[in-house]
A and B are shown apart, each in its own frame.
Chain A
């Protein structure tokens, strides 16, 4: 039923129905924004990139053949936008390692504060992951994103997606090992 609705929605968008495209934005905005915001941290940049994704969707819909699910196609666009943004940033600025290298001993004031700090360290550790690992971690832990969809979106074999995800988690675990104890 949802697939039919999705096809109808895409068809209406192709015919230039602006309200249909608005509906599409409404339907996918949390997924797109959530995925990007988990990858790039900075909310205003995340919003810019999320809007870029929808602009590309708008331009690309006439060429969307419907062979993959719409969400899979959107993941692929998100992955491309994030990769291009990463490449642009790497070309423009050298990474400021201070934000992650200023490690301090975990606070022992109270459990709540310790958890907050641990979550903060997790976010910082995720930022230090390579872009493809970061996107995998962001996408896999969003509701409903399956390995198969990720593999299709990223055009990678299923086994590679799983291996990369395990490696990403292994790296995170190694970075956080002292805090997790």
Chain B
């Protein structure tokens, strides 16, 4: 039964096409499909399809026998070094971002305090403070006492900011 692949078998009653067989060659060669009677009959009578199945089986064996390349000896240590470098870079980036943010926040706070002092006339008070330093401690305490809550608030704000900074640095490292 020699005929061109892809043509219908000449005998009536055997509707098996070579194309149909050739489509099923790979699953048959891999042992995933068992050839039924019709396919088996065709394979035994069609040298082209039989040869294709033989080749597919040989290819299957070769693919299964392909060597599996093993990772190089130092692969783990080199990978871990790369992971550490990548993590370090990420931390540096986060650190820089955090520091810039904190710097901007501090700048905003200082600007706000300066503005507040100007608006409320506290600058004049600070100027007076210089004069007060020359006066006696009792006079100094008497003059400064009304502004103590504001200074205490500013100091608390500063300490909180620095504390947050320290905490975040510790978390990152």
Interface residues of A (CB under 8 A from B): 18, 21-22, 25-26, 29-30, 32-34, 37-38, 43, 46-47, 50-51, 54-55, 58-59, 118-119, 122, 137, 141-143, 162, 165-166, 169-170, 172-173, 176-177, 180-181
Q: A180 touching B59 by the CB < 8 A rule?
A: yes
Which A residues lie within 8 Å of B14 (CB)?
none
State the Cβ distance, A177 to closest chain B Cβ, in Å: 6
Among residues of A, the one whose C-beta sits closest to the C-beta of B60 is A169
* Nearest A-chain residue to B58, judged by Cβ: A180
Q: Is B27 an interface residue (CB 8 A)?
A: yes
* Cβ-defined partner of A29 (8 Å) among B56, B58, B59, B71: B71
CA distance A37 to B66 in the complex (A): 12
Cβ of B66: which chain A residues have Cβ within 8 Å of it? 38, 119, 122, 141
Measured between C-beta atoms, what is the minimum distance from A45 to chain B in Å?
12
- Chain B residues within 8 Å of A, Cβ to Cβ: 22, 25-27, 29-30, 51-52, 54-56, 58-60, 62-64, 66, 68-72, 75-76, 78-80, 82-83, 86-87
Name the contact of A169 in the complex, choosing from B59, B70, B80 (C-beta under 8 A): B59
Main secondary structure of the interface of B (DSSP, over half): helix
Query: Given the complex of chains A and B, what is the CA–CA distance between A62 and B110 in angstroms?
Result: 39
Establish whether residues B83 and A58, one from each chain, have CB atoms under 8 Å apart when the complex forms. yes
Expressed in whole angstroms, the Cα–Cα distance for A30 and B79 within the complex equals: 13
* Alpha-carbon separation in the docked complex, A55 to B64 (Å): 30
* B82 and A55 within 8 A (CB): yes
13 A-B residue pairs with Cβ-Cβ distance under 8 Å, sorted by A, are: A22-B76, A29-B71, A33-B69, A33-B71, A43-B69, A55-B79, A59-B86, A165-B26, A172-B59, A173-B55, A176-B55, A180-B54, A181-B51
Q: Give which listed residue, B54, B68, B72, B75, contacts A142 with CB less than 8 A.
A: B68
What's the nearest-Cβ distance from chain B to residue A51, in Å?
A: 5
Given contacts A43-B69, A118-B62, A169-B26, contact A29 B79 (CB under 8 A): yes
Residues of chain B with a CB closer than 8 A to A137's CB: 63
Q: Are A54 and B79 in contact (CB under 8 A)?
A: yes
Point out which of B25, B29, B76 has the most chain A C-beta atoms below 10 A from its C-beta.
Answer: B76
Q: Would A51 and B82 count as touching, CB distance under 8 A?
A: yes
Please name the residue on chain B nearest to A16 by beta carbon. B87
B166 to chain A, nearest CB (A): 21
Is A34 touching B68 in the complex (CB atoms < 8 A)?
yes
Nearest first, the 5 A-B pairs at minimum CB distance are: A33-B71, A37-B69, A166-B26, A29-B71, A180-B55
